[in-house]
Every structure is written in structure tokens, then in C-alpha cells.
Structure 1
Amino acid sequence: MFRLQSFVVLFLWFPLALITASPVQERADHFLALANAGYQALYRVNSEAQWAAVTDVTPEHDAAAEATGKAYAAFNGNPAIINEARELLTREKELSELTVRQLKQLLLNAAEGPMTNPDLVAKRVTAETKQASIMNGFEFKLNGQKITANQIDDKLEKSPDLSERKAVWEASKEIGPALKQNLITLRDLRNGVAKEMEYPDYFSLEVAAYGMTTDEMLKMLEDWMTTLRPLYLQLHTWAKYKLAEKFHQPVPKKIPAHWISNRWAQEWPGLVEAANIDKYFEGRKPEWTVKTAEQFYTGLGFPPLPGSFWQKSDLYPVPPNEKRKKNTHASCWHIDLEHDIRSLQSIEPNARWFFTAHHELGHGHYFMAYTRPEVPYVLRLGAAPGFHE
């Protein structure tokens, strides 16, 4: 009987022994619990300040964004976090996959503002804030008169007058000279913080977020270009002829940028006859556009966005009689890495914003999918920086 009891005790204990965390795993668990809690708290504070800075551009909001940006960097780039993460990763084989992913993400976060060189980090945050402020509050002008980003897009989409199109396109690019000088400063500061964490340059740091080296990324892109080049050349040639026909011009060797109806040439719309859905937006309010986008996702079985999304988002253009300035580029924000999800847009009732609203709300539903207990705060992001797009 004694031998049987001993066997039962041994049998029951043996599986527990297998699943008991090793000392290094326990050490990592304690460290990551603290790191995740601090990260989420400062992420929220910084996001709130950045949100205020993009939705209401003022010196006060810029100053707050800079202050929280420095606090956020001070936490992420703390040498204690860097050293502990590196030390734990020397025993990677003794750690769970989830633990390893968190440790590597902490080091990527740290590389954006390593406090091994606090003066460099402070200068970078200041320069980033300045650059964002210029962009957030920039006023486009056409022939000396203010023109909104929506008006620019409308004219490039509809105007048949090449002279007007060129003037509008050039107006859309006037932000470039305003950003150029500080961008050069930022280039050096970004490269500097990357080198602090032993990356040769900032591009290498950005590529590391994909789990790749610079050589691997460039080879992948070169392979894509080689594969796509024959098709692209055919499409480019066809597009040149269609656009020349549309504007009654000789076929150019290169397509003039203002011939394309998208100011970034992200898309080349209007080259073929297609369904005109703009008529379905006539008489509609902007609210209908974004609510329809939400219905698309709930129709697929996704849960609705939190009620706070509709209360806290900034979805529509600033009224003409208001002096408030806001960033005009659509985006979606996971403010607290929990349920505070917001979107910044300037929705008008047309097909262009209909598509954009669907895109931005898609980000929101990704954020909701990440908001679950088994996903640590530092990993509540896309599988790679380009994943959501």
C-alpha cells in the first residue's frame, strides 16, 4: 500500500514539475508584469497628449505632447529595461515564445529613445514634436487663398483643366519646403538613437520591426520589383495613353503627377469607365458614411466599436467659422491599448471618404481584436508595421 501511495504521489507531482516555471522564466514574468504595466500607463498619457495636439493645434498642446513624449521615451529607453531584457534573452531557450517576443519588442521600443543618451533623445522628441506641429497645422493655399485638403482632392478628382490641376497639385506639395529643414535635423537624430542600440541607421531599426535585416528587406523588395516590372511597364504605358486621350495631350514619356487624380499617386482612378457611386451619397450626411462603414464590420460578425469611439473621435471637417486647426490625414488610434479607440478624419459624403472610413474603422476592429487578456500590452500591435495597411 505504501508503495502504491508513493507511486500516486509521484504521478501527481510529476506533471506539476514539468509545468513549473524555471527560475529564469519566473524572473522574466515578474519583469514583464512591471514593464507592461508601466508601458500601458505611459502609452495612454502620451496618446492623450498627442491626440490633443493633432485635433487642436496650439502651442500649449504641442508643449504637452513634447513633455509626455519625453516621459514615454524615458520609460521605454530606461537602461534598466534594456539591460534586463538583453540579459534574459541570453537564456532565450529557457523562456516561452511569448516571453521572448515581449522582450524583443521592449528592445525595439527602447531603440526609439534609448536613455543611454538622454540628451540625444530629448532633442529627438523636441524635433519630432516640431515636425508634427508644422504638419498638423499647415494651411494649403491656392492663388493666395486658403484651400482645404478635401478641396484639393475634389479638384484633382474632377477638374479637366490641366493648368488648374497643376496649380492644385503644386499647392498640395507646399508643405514640403516647410518640413524640409527640420526633417534633415530629424534624419540625423533618428539615426543617432538607432546607433545607440547598435543599429547602423534608423532604416535598419525600422526594418528590424519586421523581423528582418536590411539586406533581407532590400532583397525581398528587389525580388518584387523584378517580378512586377513587366506588368508595371505595360500598365504604365497603357495609363499614359489613356491619360493623354483624356486630357487631349501628346503621349508623354513620363506621366505628369498632376494628371493623376490622387495627389500621392497611391491610386490611379478614372482611367476606365466604372460605376459612379457618388450619386448614392447625394443628400446624405457625413454621419451616414461612417455609420455605414461600422455596419460593414458588424455585418461580418465583428462586435460594434465602443460607445466612446463615437463620443471621442474627431470625424468631420472643422467648420469654416472655427479657428481650430487639426491634422487632415485620416488615422485611427488605440489610445489606452484597451477600449479607448478613436479616429481622426474629415469625412464628407462621397465615395472617397466612404472607402477611407471603411479603412480606418478596420484599424479600430484590429485594435479590439488585440484587446484581450492573453495579449500583453507591449504586443497589442500589428504583426508588422505594415500589417494593418
Structure 2
Amino acid sequence: MEKIVLDFLQNRINKLQEMTSALFKAHWEFSTTGTEELQKQLISLKEKLAHFLSNEEDFQKIKDFLNSKIDNDLIVRQLTVLYNAYLKHQIDSELIQQIVKLEAEIESEFTNFRANYNGKRITNNQILDILQTSTDEIERKSVWLSSKQIGQRVAPLLLKLVKLRNQVANKLGYANYYSLALQTDEINEKELFEILDRLKELTDEPFRKVKEKIDYNLAQKFGISTEKLMPWHYSDPFFQEIPNSDDIDLNKFFKDQDIVELSKKYYAGIGLNVEDILARSDLYEREGKDQHAYCIHIDGEGDIRILCNLRNTEYWMNTLLHELGHGVYDKYLDFNLPFILRQPAHTFLTEAIAMMFGRLSRDPQWLKEIAGASPKLVDCLQDQLRWQEQLALLIFIRWGLVMVYFERELYKNPEQNLNRLWWDLVKELQLLKCPANRENHPDWAAKIHLGTAPVYYHNYILGYLAAYQIEATIKESLQIPHLINEPKIGSFLIEKIFKPGARYHWNTLLEKATGRKLTPDFAVQVFK
């Protein structure tokens, strides 16, 4: 029996590797050029993969194998991962084609979108520049509004896609696509929202207090009362980042630096080489290129690349360290594992590693030892930097809760007034005011994840929780105060986190690595 199962697995997994490699390569080429020809190729490859995973006979065999007595844990794990991949594709070919086409259309809209600001096309980086530096309220409001233009364009497509995804879920016996996606991603919906609800409760009062301080400082900066502060007074279009402060400008630490070289230096110091990843990557902005950032493992054989739109700012230093965190996770997987297990134990765990490294761009010791900042200057800023760590965590958790709660309700009832739902959540969780008439605009659709990475945002929140848990374990087990210039850090991560890949359920891996299942306790200590 075991040989029959192994032969089946080898055959299907080999085909899966071939198709996903072609798909990821096409995705990379499309996001770096944005051409219509590549978009068509991408659609074709997505349809091909979806049709492969929709095979009813294969799916039944996988179920039968899982119901039989197999003593080999590695085989059972492969079957489990394969089962989850097949399950959400058990639909007819016409529905597959409609979904793939809409997903590609939405992705194309975001890839090629440049906001229209005063008659000129401007990039996301230019939008951020204005929101981070301008004191002209009219300019800030205009550029903030321009950043939302993409929402108006993709909202009808996204709503249609949500309804099609729900059709898939309903046919498979699920209430909606959100529940199906969590199930196939090995996340228990009830347990997830128990954690999120607890996080909301734990952060209500700390966030209210820091928001009052933020608003007081912004009101002073713009010469207005706190009651008149609007979303465009903050430093990014969604208030997911720390607003710029006159007291501490982190960009000055990177203004004259080569941040790519800094990233090489840092990772080499902890025993992780990233030069090969960077050599294959596309790092700087240009017309026709996706304006966001991501890491991709093309072939499951070590062809790992990152896409960025770098500038010499703290934001992009953070982003570069973050994406390389994804990269080293993939690079140091055990390539002797079967292809289907040659991936992180869970998406949120690779996010955890990325976040753990990304936030070092604000770490005092990192700024001194890696960025070469003046120790005297950094020591003077020590309290503000620690305060910024608290701010970053609180601001992102509250923003993340907006996304997660909204998306869950989006799939539960796409016919409701989503514009009002969005702003109700923004007002409740981020304590932002809704500008006049914005409840008549689909600002929620301006966030790329809803269309191109559905049911994903909870991974960022869980990633933050796991990041602090893993970091605390490293510091305790290695008896070190900082995640800097210690090759044993890389060795720990390779052996405990990276190398096992997906051979264990994510909570089993986390318990093996840290001695505990996932807990918010370590992250909560930061803002206590």
C-alpha cells in the first residue's frame, strides 16, 4: 500500500512542481513589466494549475489514502497538504476560468496603476513622500484622495470575484470562502478570532493612549485642533505605519547609505548569506513595474528573488530586511524534503521571520553596529526608539484588525453597505475620522490584498505574535541581548524553523522550536 501511495505522490507532486514553477516565473515577469502578453500567459498557467487540482479522481484517491492506515508520518503529511490544495479547487472548469480571469484583471490594475494627482501620474513612493513630508493640508488631502482612486476602479471586479469565491465555498459545503480558505490553510476560525478578539481587548486602552499622543503631536505640527485631524494628516494612506515625528527622523540614518549593502552585512553577521538572492532580484522602481514588495521562490529548488522599489529611507530599509527574511527562510529549507513540504510550516511563520528582521531598522543597537550611526546620537534617541517599537506594534495590530474583521464580513455578506462597514471599523479600531462623503466611496478596495491575496491579513498579525515569541526564545537559549553579529542566530533558525519546512503542523513546529504553542504573551509585553 505504501508503495502505491508513494508512486501517486511522486507523480502528482512532480507535475505540481512543474506547473507552479512555470506560474511563479510568469508572475515574476508580469509584475516586473506589466505587459498584456504576460498577463494572458499568467491567466493560462493559473487555469492549467487550477484544472489539475480540480481532478475529482485524484481528490478521491487522496481522501482514501488518508482514511487508510499509513504509519509513515512524512507520507501522511504530504497527503494532508495535498488534500488542502485539492479541496478548494473541486469546482467546474467554467467557474475556474471566471475566477482566474478576474484575479488576473485585478492584479493587472494594481500593477499598472499610477495615481492621477493634479493631472500627473505619480507612484506610491511619491504619495508616501508627500504624506511623510508635506505640511500643506490641501496637498496632503489631494494626494490622499488620489491614492484611493484604484479602489473605485477595482471595486466592481472585486465584488464579482468575492461572489464567485463564495460560490466555490458553497458548492463544497462551506458557509463562505473565508471559512473555506482558513480551513484549507490549517487555521481554526474560532480559535483565530478568539486570539484576535483578545488582542483587540488588550490593545483598546494602550492604543487609545498612544493615539492621543500622536494626535496631540500632529495637531501641533499642522497648527490645528485634534478634532480637525483627518486621515491625510497621517504618514501613509491607511494609517498602518508610525507617523513621521519632528523629534526623530529615522530616514537620516539611511539617506547616504547603500541599504542593499547594509542588508548583506547584517545577514552575513548572523550566518545567513543573502547575496545570491539579491543578485536575482529586481530592486528599484520603474514604469510598468509592480509598486509593492514581495519575495518569491520560483522553482522550489533555490531560485529565490525579491521585488522592491528601493529608496534610501527607513521604510525601504525595513522592507528590504523583511523581504530577505522571507528569502532566507526559503533558502535554508531542507531540499531533501518532498517538494510539497519544501515550504514554510505556515505563511504566518515566514511573516514572523520577516517581521522580526524588518523591525531592526528601528533597533538602537542595529543602528549603531550595522548602519554605523553615531552611538552618542542613538543613545540620545533610545527612549524614542523604544517608544516607536511600541507604536509600530500597536498601530499595525489595530490596522490589521480592520482588515481581518472587514474581510470576514465581506465574505459573509458582500451585499451589505461595505463602504460604511469599512469606515465604521476604521473609526472604531483606528480612531480615525471619516471624511465627508467617503462612505460613498469604496476605499476598502484600494487595499491590494483583498483581491490578490484573499484571507491573508491575519497572517501578519499572527506573524507579529510569533516573531516576538521566536525572538525571546533565541535570546534566552543563546544568552544574547540582541539579534546582531552572532552566527548562532542563523544556526538556530536553520535547524529549528527553516529546515523542517512543512513536515509538521505549524503549531507543532512552533512548540518544538520555542517550547510553547503560539501565544500573544510575548508581543503583549511590548506595549505593557
Task: Tell me whether the two structures share a fold, i.e. TM-score over 0.5.
Answer: yes
Pairwise CA distance, 1:109: 1.7
75-84 or 61-70, larger mean C-alpha shift: 75-84
What's the counterpart of residue 240 of structure 1? 215
Question: CA RMSD of the aligned region, Å?
Answer: 2.0
What's the counterpart of residue 106 of structure 1? 82
Q: 1:49 aligns with which of 5, 13, 26?
A: 26
What's the counterpart of residue 243 of structure 2? 269
Q: 1:291 aligns with which of 238, 247, 261?
A: 261
Partner of 2:348, secondary structure, is coil
What's the counterpart of residue 332 of structure 1? 295
- Contact conserved, 2:20 with 2:299, CA < 8 A, in 1? yes
Measured in 2, the distance between the counterparts of 1:381 and 1:162 equals: 46
Q: 1:139 aligns with which of 102, 105, 114?
A: 114
What's the counterpart of residue 453 of structure 2? none
Partner AA of 1:279 in structure 2: K
- Contact conserved, 1:76 with 1:106, CA < 8 A, in 2? no
Q: 1:384 aligns with which of 346, 351, 357?
A: 346
Measured in 2, the distance between the counterparts of 1:278 and 1:85 equals: 53
Measured in 2, the distance between the counterparts of 1:158 and 1:196 equals: 50
What's the counterpart of residue 13 of structure 1? none
Measured in 1, the distance between the counterparts of 2:252 and 2:317 equals: 13
Alignment CA distance shift 1:129-1:204 (3 Å): same
- Contact conserved, 2:111 with 2:290, CA < 8 A, in 1? yes
Partner AA of 2:82 in structure 1: L
Q: 2:47 aligns with which of 47, 70, 78?
A: 70
Measured in 2, the distance between the counterparts of 1:217 and 1:333 equals: 26
Pairwise CA distance, 1:76: 2.3
Partner AA of 1:31 in structure 2: F
What's the counterpart of residue 359 of structure 1? 322
Measured in 2, the distance between the counterparts of 1:327 and 1:53 equals: 9
> Equivalences for 1:55-94 in 2 at 5 Å?
55-91=32-68, 94=70
- Contact conserved, 1:77 with 1:109, CA < 8 A, in 2? no
Partner AA of 1:315 in structure 2: L
Pairwise CA distance, 1:257: 1.5
What's the counterpart of residue 279 of structure 1? 252
Measured in 1, the distance between the counterparts of 2:334 and 2:239 equals: 34
Pairwise CA distance, 1:221: 1.2
Measured in 1, the distance between the counterparts of 2:198 and 2:72 equals: 34
- Contact conserved, 1:207 with 1:217, CA < 8 A, in 2? no
Q: 2:282 aligns with which of 301, 314, 321?
A: 314
Partner AA of 1:373 in structure 2: N
195-204 or 60-69, larger mean C-alpha shift: 195-204
Q: 2:129 aligns with which of 135, 154, 159?
A: 154
Alignment CA distance shift 1:66-1:329 (3 Å): same
Partner of 1:332, secondary structure, is strand
CA deviation string 1:72-97 (max 9, x = no partner): 11222222331111111213x53433
Partner AA of 1:291 in structure 2: E
Partner of 1:333, secondary structure, is strand
Measured in 2, the distance between the counterparts of 1:346 and 1:162 equals: 27
Alignment CA distance shift 1:77-1:226 (3 Å): same
What's the counterpart of residue 186 of structure 1? 161
Partner of 1:388, secondary structure, is helix
Partner AA of 1:34 in structure 2: N
Pairwise CA distance, 1:277: 4.1
- Contact conserved, 1:139 with 1:147, CA < 8 A, in 2? yes
Pairwise CA distance, 1:363: 0.9
TM-score, length of structure 2 as denominator length: 0.63
Partner of 2:295, secondary structure, is strand
Write out the 4+ residue segments of structure 1 that deviate beyond 4 Å after TM superposition.
Answer: none
- Contact conserved, 1:190 with 1:202, CA < 8 A, in 2? yes
Partner of 2:336, secondary structure, is coil
Measured in 2, the distance between the counterparts of 1:89 and 1:272 equals: 60
Give structure 1 stretches of 5+ with no counterpart: 1-22, 319-323
- Contact conserved, 2:84 with 2:185, CA < 8 A, in 1? no
What's the counterpart of residue 369 of structure 1? 332
Tell me the matched-pair count: 351
Measured in 1, the distance between the counterparts of 2:138 and 2:262 equals: 37
- Contact conserved, 2:254 with 2:313, CA < 8 A, in 1? yes
Partner AA of 2:86 in structure 1: A
2:232 counterpart of 1:258: yes
What's the counterpart of residue 14 of structure 2? 37
Partner AA of 1:300 in structure 2: I
TM-score, length of structure 1 as denominator length: 0.84
- Contact conserved, 1:111 with 1:194, CA < 8 A, in 2? no
- Contact conserved, 2:131 with 2:140, CA < 8 A, in 1? yes
Higher helix share: 2
